[in-house]
Each structure stands twice: as C-alpha cells, then as structure tokens.
Amino acid sequence: MTTLPRPASVSGFSALGLAPKLIASVTALGYEEPTPIQREAIPLLREGHDLIGLAGTGTGKTAAFTLPMLNRLAMHTTRQPAGARGLVLVPTRELAMQVSEAIHKYAKGLPLTVVPLYGGAPMDQQIRALRRGADIVVATPGRALDHLRRQTLDLSGLEVLVLDEADEMLDMGFADDIDTIITQTPDTRQTALFAVTMAPRIAAITGKHLRNPRRVTIAHEKRAAGKLPRIRQTAYIVGRAQKMTALGRVLDFENPKSAIVFCRTRIEVDELADTLSAHGFGAQALHGGMEQKQRDRVMQLFRKEQAEILVATDVAARGLDIKHVSHVINYDVPTSPEVYVHRIGRTGRIGRDGIAITLAHPREHSFLRSVEALTRQKIDVLPLPSLADLRARRLEATREQLREQLTNGGFEDARTIVEALAQEFDVFDVAAAAVTLVHHAAESTMPAAEIESAAAHDRSRERGRGGDRERPHAATSRTRTTEHAAPMAVLFVGAGKAAGIRPGDLVGAITGEAGVPGHALGAITITETHSLVEVPAARADSILTALRATKIRGQRVTVRHDRG
C-alpha cells in the first residue's frame, strides 16, 4: 500500500506570516498551498517592500497582492471617512469585476469593504457605494480619474496601490491617466506592479513610481527544462463557462486508458470528479483533505485500472509513483511553468509517448508561451475536436477493435451467422452491416452539440485607446446549433446544493427515467437553490415529463424550461 504525502496543509500559507483569518479564508476556498508567485511575493509585500511581479493571469497573482494588502489594512481598521486605503488599477471592466469579486472572497470575515469602479455602470450608484465607505477600490484608470475629478474618490490616505496587468494598461493608452492618479496618492504608499514581461515601458513606469522595488518572476526562462520525455502537448482555448463541456469532449475524443486531470483546489477536484462520474466516466478524486485510507483506496482503483481518471490537486499527486498514465490534462492552467513541467512529466514514461492537454482561458495565452520558453518545446494550440473529429476517431477505434478481434479469433459462432447471411447477401455487405452496428453502438453516446471555440473571442480582444475602452463583460456561450449538431435546451430543476443535489442525482434521474445517455447531456450547474441541466432540445419535453413524474433525492421537484 502506498503512503501518500501527508495532507498538506495550510502551513504553506502560515509560513507566509498571514493573519489566521486570511489563512482560514484560503482554506475554505480549498487552496492547499501557495502558488509560486504567492510564495515569493507575499512575504516581500508583507514586509512593506514595493514589488514588481512578472506573472500573468492564472498564476494566482490576485491573491499574491490581495492577501498582504488585507493583512495590512486589517491590522488597524479605524477607517478615515470616505478615503480608500487600497487601490487596484486594472485595464478592463471585466477584470475590475473579477478582481473585486476575488478580493471580496479573500476578505471574508474581515471588516473591509471592496468597491469596483468601471465605465458603463451608473455613476450615482458608484458614488453611493463610495460614500458608504470603501476600504479597497478596484478601478479602471478612466473611471478612477472621473471620480477623482468629481471628488467622490479620495486617495489622500492611500496605503497600498496595485497596478495589475500594467502592460495591458499601457497598451491601452492609460499611462497618463495612471500618472495623474498617482499624483493624488501619498508618497508613503506601498506600490506593487504586475506585468507579463519587463518591457522597457514597464521599466519606465516602475522607475517613476516604485521605490526600491523587489522583483519576483514566475517565468524562469533561462532555466534548462531538464529531460522531458516525448510528450505531445496540446492546448485548447476555452472560456470559463465551457470548460466542463470541453473536458468531456476531450475525454470522449482521447478515450484515455489512464488520465490525471489536474485542478487547483480541493473543492474543484470534488466537483469535477462528481460531474465526470455522473457523465459516465470512471473518475476518482484525490486531494490533501482526504483521509489516508480513502486516498489509498482511490490509488488502488486507479492502479488496477478500475478508474480511468484521477482528478487531483498538485499537492495530492506529488510523490505518487504512477507508471501508466497515458494523459495528463490540465483543467486549470498550472500556477507556473515549472508546475506544468512537473505535471506533464507524469505521462510519457517507459518509452511510450505521452499526451499533455491544457484547457486555457483566452487570457492565459502568455502562460503557454512562458512554458514553451522554459521547455523549448511547442504546445499546439488547436480547436477543440468537433463532432466530426469525434466520429472519425470512433470509426478508427471500431476498425482497431475489429482488427484485434480478427487476430485473436474466437468468433466461430458468429461465422455460422455470416455463412447463413452470405446465402442471401454479398459477404462484403454483411461485414459492412456488422461494422455499422458496432459503430452505431459507439455513436449512441455521442454528445449532442458542438462547442464554440473561444479563440475567436480572444482575437477580438479590444486594444488601443478611444471608443469604449472598457469592453462589456464578454460572456462565452455554447453554440446552440451547427450543421450537424443537435440544438440544446436548458432545464431548470428547483433544487440545488441546499437540498443535497449532486450532478449524479440529475444525470441518474435523466438517464434512468428518460433513457437519455449521460454523454448526450451538456453542462450541469448546481447552485444553492436550483440546478440547470443542458439537454438535447429534441428530448427536452420527454425529459421534463419523466422528471416531473419522479423524485430526485427522495423529493418531488419543480422542473421546467429555464427562462434564463
């Protein structure tokens, strides 16, 4: 029996000298250890240094600047009326919302308020929020300047300033706005700047506004990659909302014998393993919060190939000696190129080619480039396999199965049927009909809809000044129809997490009661109060009727078409 590394701890975070409340909040979020940028940046920021962080989206940089900022602001909470004590400048409205939500999450339990300010939203609402008191403001430069001019934002008592995605803010022409904003802050402030690379214009802005800054970087571009085994590396660019569906498609397409799917948090691991199982994959969760006995059991199942997918955090997978992994799938981009190399090193062992697949958000392109620089190997950024690709792959698999069966023999009984049919039909036709039957059986589990590629969304990213600089929130959505894809409908189920509903309950009810295979279902979203399930539109009504006539988790629930 294997002994896995001890459940890790939050000690990683404790060692960074953060207040217990902050450690509690990252634990509650399911984080197992600090990411590389957090490990390096947090102690420096906590000691009061100015900082240049060279790290892009996906590295955990938001927590890297937020946790020490909260740590500092929470130490003395006597708030000056109306003055912001922390300011985070970000390039887009979308980021302002995201970062503000993230700060809110990390600040849970602390008496600190966060207010996002971005263009396109009503001014008076923002003014009211500022008047109520905003310890931390997350703003796009244009809108921050608007508020400064109207004197609805006061930065005279600012303690911490963060310039997030500074290179993008400069690309968008915000340099002067940033300068003007900074003149309204005290010299005593602490300043942190995050950018992807140390371009000359970044050097200029840090020279002007940062004092004796320390520099941390997560892309050690010069370090040798070590010997990577032969690994085919692919990345698919997908929006957050489609990730689960994309993972299902990738797993359908690759049909891995043994895969590790890496996620970041314990919570994500549990949810993903649950959802995959509900969709009919043999998936098991592995994370540092599990008892040793449970983890041993999971590893046994995986080693004996009774579970083909292990969904794991980096911490839990560390030190595992697994010899037969055919695929490593990064459900989330790893937190540094080194972690990426470490993860994918688990495949392609014993002289076999391995396959590494990464699902990346459009904003995480720069991460893929840092990995290429580190490994000096190419990552192919490809469109997600289409339904036609999947069909072709399955046909190929059928051919392989037949070839194996023909080599192994043992089909004497079937021969008599062929002989009988051959009296009546051409023997080639008999064989072709048999192949079609086998293939149709495989096709019955085909997903019903195409998935929209997020690459187009990426290309359309707005740059440059002028016009509406702050893009509206670009929600990615699933394509409803394509030439050969069935349209999908969304069903509302009036019970959610609070009622103990898990993906398996919904899929179980639909497959069991309406006879629709799990693979035909799309995304499943479960909130506290309700759930949403994507189903093939053509079957939606029969699924509705079937679900209304049954109980889910022992209770009758409302089921209807989702009205959005």
Q: Give contact residues for ligand AMP (rule: CB under 6 A).
A: 31, 34-35, 38, 57-63, 264-265
Report the first-to-last Cα separation within the chain, whole angstroms. Answer: 50
Write 520-523 long-range contacts (CB < 8 A, 24+).
Answer: 520/445, 520/446, 520/447, 520/448, 521/279, 521/448, 522/245, 522/447, 522/448, 522/449, 522/478, 522/488, 523/241, 523/242, 523/244, 523/245, 523/478
CB closer to ligand AMP out of 32 and 252: 32
Closest distance between ligand AMP and the C-beta of residue 63, in Å?
Answer: 4
Closest distance between ligand AMP and the C-beta of residue 310, in Å?
Answer: 18
CA distance 490 to 523: 9
Please give the C-alpha separations between residue 432 and each of 47, 349, 441, in angstroms, as whole numbers. 73, 38, 14
Closest distance between ligand AMP and the C-beta of residue 401, in Å?
Answer: 40
User: What residue ranges in 41-95 does DSSP mark as E strands?
Assistant: 51-54, 86-89
Q: Among 97, 148, 157, 142, which Cα is nearest to 127's?
A: 148
CA distance 75 to 537: 55
Please give the C-alpha separations between residue 252 and each of 257, 342, 519, in angstroms, as whole numbers. 11, 25, 9
CB closer to ligand AMP out of 264 and 394: 264
CB closer to ligand AMP out of 169 and 499: 169
In the chain, the amino acid numbered 331 is Y
Hey, what are 21's tokens?
Answer: 């409340």
CB closer to ligand AMP out of 35 and 206: 35
Closest distance between ligand AMP and the C-beta of residue 77, in Å?
Answer: 25
Distance of CA 143 to the CA centre of its chain: 29
CB 282 within 8 A of CB 307: yes
Closest distance between ligand AMP and the C-beta of residue 440, in Å?
Answer: 41
Closest distance between ligand AMP and the C-beta of residue 60, in Å?
Answer: 3
Closest distance between ligand AMP and the C-beta of residue 18, in Å?
Answer: 12
CB closer to ligand AMP out of 25 and 326: 25
CB closer to ligand AMP out of 194 and 302: 194
CB closer to ligand AMP out of 95 and 390: 95
